[in-house]
Structure 1
Amino acid sequence: MTTELETRCLNVFPEWLRTLAADADDIAKLLASTSAPLSARRYVAAGLNYLFKSLDLIPDGIEDLGFLDDAFVLRVAASLALDENPTVRAEAPALTRLAADKALIQELLGKDYGRLEKYVRELTRGAARGRTVDEIIEDDGTRSAFLNEVSGWAQSYQAPSFSRDEKNIVKLQSFLSAKLPT
Structure 2
Amino acid sequence: MTFSRRTAQLLHEDHQQTIAVIEALDQLIAKHRKKAPDTSDAWVRTTLTQAIGALEEEVNLHFAFEETELFTRLEDMGDVGIGEHLREEHRALTPLGTKVAEMSRDTLENGFTDESWTEFRNVAGELIERMYAHIQKEEMALVPALEDLLDPETDMELSAAYAGNH
Q: TM-score range by the shorter chain?
A: 0.3 to 0.5
Q: TM-score, normalised by structure 2?
A: 0.44
Q: TM-score, normalised by structure 1?
A: 0.41
- Structure ranking higher in helix proportion: 2
The structure with the larger Rg is 2
